[in-house]
């Protein structure tokens, strides 16, 4: 298993787009909902300044249906 380093929300969104996700809607506050029309999966990305913690990143990756290795290669 590769080591998951903290990433910014912008970098997470960039990798999700490469995986086929598209912006769906703005959720409450600064959270964004991203949807992949091919896999029909949704994930929520908190658009906060600074880096997202490893636990939040793991939750986003899991919701996206990806492994950590797949996500880091994007």
Q: Is residue 61 part of a domain?
A: yes
First vs last C-alpha separation in the chain: 16
Q: Is residue 39 in a domain?
A: yes
Q: Domain with 29 in it: what CATH number?
A: 3.30.920.30
Domain of 21 in residue numbering reads as 7-73
Contacts of 62 (CB under 8 A, 6+ apart): none
Task: Give me the number of domains the chain comprises.
Answer: 1
Q: Say what the pTM is.
A: 0.92
Look at residue 2 and tell me if it is in a domain.
no
What pLDDT is attached to residue 18? Answer: 97
Strand partners, 37: none
* Residues 18 and 74: beta-carbon distance below 8 Å: yes
Residue pLDDT, tens place only, 51-70 = 999 999 999 999 999 999 99
Domain assignment present for 65: yes
Give residue-wise pLDDT tens across range 3-25: 888 999 999 999 999 999 999 99
């Amino acid at each position: 298993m590769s080591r998951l380093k903290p990433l910014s929300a912008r970098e997470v969104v960039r990798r999700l787009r490469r995986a086929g996700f598209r912006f769906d809607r703005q959720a409450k506050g600064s959270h964004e909902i991203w949807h992949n029309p091919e896999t029909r999966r949704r994930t929520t990305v908190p658009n906060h300044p600074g880096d997202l913690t490893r636990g939040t990143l793991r939750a986003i990756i899991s919701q996206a249906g990806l492994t950590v290795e797949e996500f880091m290669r994007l």
